[in-house]
Structure 1
Amino acid sequence: MDAEHMNKNSTPALATPPGETPEDEQARRAALSRMRAVATGLLILAAIIFITVHLFTDQTGVWGFVSTASEAAMIGGLADWFAVTALFRHPLGVPIPHTAIIPRKKDVLGESMSTFVAMNFLRAETVAPKIRSAQVTKRVGAWLSVKRNQDIVVERAGQGINYVLARVDDSAIESLTRNVLVPKLIATHKSPVVGRLLTEIVRDGAHHRLVDLVVYEAYAWLERNPQVIEQIVGDRSPEWMPKFVNRTVASRLQTEVLGWVADVRDDRYHQARQALDRWLLELSRDLSEDTSIAQRAEVVFDDLLAQDGVVESVLDIWTSLKRLLYAAVEDSDGEVKIRVRQLLAETADRMQNDTEFATMLDQKLATTAGDLTESFGPEFASVISDTIASWDAKDAANKIELYVGKDLQYIRINGTVVGALVGLLIHAITVLVPGL
């Protein structure tokens, strides 16, 4: 008993459709009751007429037509009452086979409906053209072009970042780094990866800015610290060498060194730069291949990763990044939010005015939606069958009857009226065609 009670309580209640109010539901119930009373009233009227004619007339002449019409009306009305009632419950509570169809077969009906939707609606050829014709990109661009909506996007993004940051524990980052990332990196053969990365960097010239920075800083440092060269010359020269000679040599050496560094700084195709490029490419090839250099590099990488300082550095970087993100989110007039708003405005403008760009995005969106629908259509449609299966059978029948029962009462009314007309027609034929 308790188990049954628990199962019944655990069954989800049928949700009221969006926008539906209790007053709307009461109005539906009243309309259903009203139409049910009309249909039942016609059936009772037909029965009263039939009984009256049989009790108080000889059923000849006009009364024959009335008797036959009322009899046929009762038969039609009763048949359609049985058919309509059998959808939702057992007529008169009698468990006649193939009645109470919806309560008994709701799961089967849900599966059939789910399959029907998946086969006829959730198809790429159905969804993709609809998405494409909706011009989603232009609509999103128009919405995003409004400053208030841009503020909403920025605010929601900030809330999302805050939500994620608040739920990421520093100890989890430490554990992930120490127990997962570092062991995984140590177990991975890193030299080929570093070699390929270095090759791409050199070929793209991405290292030139770093070289520029080093050369610029070297020139500035040498220019600010001439005494360093003087000290080197003084330390290397014999004791008997006069100091003015050392100063002359140091001055000359500094001039030559500064000139050479300036040449390297100003000439992108300087021999020193080209030599560095060649050396980096050779190093990348050695790292990519199983050479002694690659093996030694692997040992160095592993030793570096095994140091506790690696985990501490990752935590320091994470802490700094988190602090920067918090600050960026909190500062409503900060540089980050200003740049994000500018980016949103530029993107919105392009979405609306760049037809080629909008068409490309719509095409990609339509293709993606079609592929997802084709791949996961049955899973999407299973929401229908799963939801119907979770409903209580009696509640489901009552809810469905509430929404369609009013229209179904017209079947009962039509059955009564059409039955009467057919009865009249049959009786007319028997009167007009003797011998039938």
Structure 2
Amino acid sequence: MSSTEASSAVPFRDQTEKLAALRRTKAIATAALILCVTVFAAAKAFESYWPWLGFVAAFAEAATIGGLADWYAVVALFKRPLGLPIPHTAIIPANQNRIADNLGRFIEANFLAPEPVREKLEEVDFSALVSDWLSDPKRADGLSRFVVRLVPQTLAAIDRSGLRGFVADRMLEQVEKVPVAPLAAGLLGAFTEDRRHQKLFDQFIKVAGRFLTDEEALAAMREKIREELPSLFNLFRADAYLLKKIVASAGSLLEEVHADKDHPMRLEFDRFMLKFIEDLRSSRAYARRAEAMKRNFLARPEMKALAGDVWESFRALIEQDVKAQNSVIRAHLANMFVEIGRHLAGDAKIRADMNQGFVVALASFVESQKSGVSTFIADQVKRWDLAQLTRLLEMNIGRDLQYIRFNGMLIGGLAGLALYVVELTLLSN
């Protein structure tokens, strides 16, 4: 037998057992009522021979009346006794809609009230459940696989929704609001700490040194010198002499600057940088120029194209990774989920806050939806088939109701016996 067949067989077997128990109890109650009638008839028949049978007859008579009255009351709950159209019988079928509405309101008022719901939710340690679930590497890996499977659809949805263009426009707007000059001053200020800008100056010296050894550059300089000198000097190759002196002097100067960290040229570069940074911070003219440059730069169509290219590259990278067998994103996500679970398990404050958040959220959800739950329950009960509803109720509570018949016979019999004793006492007086 499959698990589905087994699960469906259990309720069926349970219903069969309840129905059999109900029938047995009904049969016993009916037999007891018949017994009371029989005892009453026999006691009355032989009462003249044995006067003490009057007590038995009184008990049996009252027990019969009590049993019949309670039989009528129990049957009237579910159907019309003997099929007769007696008023106020078949109470449950006749009041199905009212019972459904009252049941829905009862559940809403008593089971879904704010305080009971909050008290019940506060008993649950939601954070521990989340922590235990995430701390399991297999579950974390399964969750990461589920998340990365949603990535392509999410990226496609972003493209279709126009969110990419919206985000790009908002980013450019936010960038446009940022004052460039103070920002640049701050960046340069951080760059010039510990004279780190001197490394840039060192690179300039190296470039200048390479320029002095470049044959094409030297040839161009010699040609320029020749153009400026009188023709007579060029006959004596003065241009070559001057170029040699210039290159030698410049090379010597560059070597001195490179070797001396406190060379006047380096100090002058320090002063230039500090003044430039101060001007960026305080000069309105610099600020206006910087803002104009920024606006011109952001207004160029290449900027939006660049944003689109960055997005496409990012999307291609993400999609390629999530499709890979050994996805880096999936691995990082799984590790992240495990770490979150472990950190959550060790942080009592976060767990308390998390549990409180769950309680507030779920309690608010129940409060907002409880009227819908009440209506749903009422609608379901109203749609039940009357025969099925009656059969279901009788099957589940009918056996207990049959004991009312036993109690009715016993209490009625005792009451009848007591009244008989009182009658004899009064007649004897």
- Do they superpose with TM above 0.5? yes
Whether the aligned pair in 2 keeps the contact of 1:77 and 1:416 (CA below 8 Å) is yes
Of 33, 36, 43, 2:22 maps to 36
Q: Distance in 2 between matches of 1:122 and 1:361?
A: 22
Q: Distance in 2 between matches of 1:67 and 1:112?
A: 42
Whether the aligned pair in 1 keeps the contact of 2:59 and 2:416 (CA below 8 Å) is yes
| 1:369 to 2:358 alignment | yes
Q: Which moved more, 1:361-370 or 1:305-314?
A: 305-314
Tell me what 1:309 maps to. Answer: 302
Tell me what 2:407 maps to. Answer: 418
User: Please, which runs of 5 or more residues in structure 1 have no aligned partner?
Assistant: 1-17
Whether the aligned pair in 1 keeps the contact of 2:96 and 2:381 (CA below 8 Å) is no
Superposition pairs for residues 241-390 of structure 1, below 5 Å?
242-252=242-252, 254-255=254-255, 278=278, 281-282=281-282, 293=287, 297=291, 307-352=300-345, 354=346, 358-382=347-371, 384-390=373-379
RMSD: 5.0
User: Aligned pair in 2 of structure 1 residues 149, 63: CA closer, same or farther (>3 Å)?
Assistant: same
Output the amino acid matched with 1:314. A
Output the amino acid matched with 2:314. L
Q: CA deviation at 1:368?
A: 1.1
Output the amino acid matched with 2:324. D
Q: Distance in 2 between matches of 1:93 and 1:217?
A: 110
Q: Which moved more, 1:414-423 or 1:152-161?
A: 152-161
Output the amino acid matched with 1:120. E
Question: What TM-score results when the alignment is normalised by the length of structure 1?
Answer: 0.67
Q: Distance in 2 between matches of 1:325 and 1:93?
A: 77
Q: Distance in 1 between matches of 2:386 and 2:223?
A: 103
Q: CA deviation at 1:417?
A: 1.2
User: Aligned pair in 2 of structure 1 residues 251, 323: CA closer, same or farther (>3 Å)?
Assistant: same
Q: Distance in 2 between matches of 1:402 and 1:215?
A: 95
| 1:148 to 2:169 alignment | no
Question: In the comparison of the two structures, how many residue pairs are matched?
Answer: 389
Q: CA deviation at 1:75?
A: 1.3
User: Aligned pair in 2 of structure 1 residues 343, 280: CA closer, same or farther (>3 Å)?
Assistant: farther
User: Please, which runs of 5 or more residues in structure 2 have no aligned partner?
Assistant: 46-53, 230-238
Output the amino acid matched with 1:251. G
Of 415, 428, 432, 2:417 maps to 428
User: Aligned pair in 2 of structure 1 residues 202, 293: CA closer, same or farther (>3 Å)?
Assistant: closer
Q: Secondary structure at the match of 1:148?
A: helix
Question: What TM-score results when the alignment is normalised by the length of structure 2?
Answer: 0.68
Q: Distance in 2 between matches of 1:201 and 1:111?
A: 69
- What is the CA deviation profile of residues 216-240 of structure 1, one whole-angstrom value per residue up to 9, with x for unaligned ones? 6785576367444775994998544
Tell me what 1:78 maps to. Answer: 72
Q: Distance in 2 between matches of 1:160 and 1:206?
A: 45
Superposition pairs for residues 223-242 of structure 1, below 5 Å?
223=206, 226-228=209-211, 231=217, 234=221, 239-240=228-229, 242=242
User: Aligned pair in 2 of structure 1 residues 251, 411: CA closer, same or farther (>3 Å)?
Assistant: same
Output the amino acid matched with 1:82. A
Tell me what 1:6 maps to. Answer: none
Structure number with larger C-alpha Rg:
2
- What is the CA deviation profile of residues 260-311 of structure 1, one whole-angstrom value per residue up to 9, with x for unaligned ones? 9999xxx9xx76776566455448xx7xxxx9957983x7666555544343
Q: CA deviation at 1:423?
A: 0.7
Output the amino acid matched with 2:44. D
Output the amino acid matched with 1:377. V
Whether the aligned pair in 2 keeps the contact of 1:49 and 1:67 (CA below 8 Å) is no
Whether the aligned pair in 1 keeps the contact of 2:108 and 2:374 (CA below 8 Å) is yes
Output the amino acid matched with 1:194. V
- What is the CA deviation profile of residues 324-356 of structure 1, one whole-angstrom value per residue up to 9, with x for unaligned ones? 11222233435444444444454444444x4xx
| 1:120 to 2:105 alignment | no
Q: Distance in 2 between matches of 1:90 and 1:206?
A: 99
Whether the aligned pair in 2 keeps the contact of 1:77 and 1:412 (CA below 8 Å) is no
Q: CA deviation at 1:26?
A: 1.3
Tell me what 2:157 maps to. Answer: 168
Q: CA deviation at 1:73?
A: 1.6
Q: Distance in 1 between matches of 2:6 and 2:350?
A: 37
Q: Distance in 2 between matches of 1:392 and 1:212?
A: 83
User: Aligned pair in 2 of structure 1 residues 407, 337: CA closer, same or farther (>3 Å)?
Assistant: closer
User: Aligned pair in 2 of structure 1 residues 315, 106: CA closer, same or farther (>3 Å)?
Assistant: farther
**Percent identity, aligned pairs only?**
13
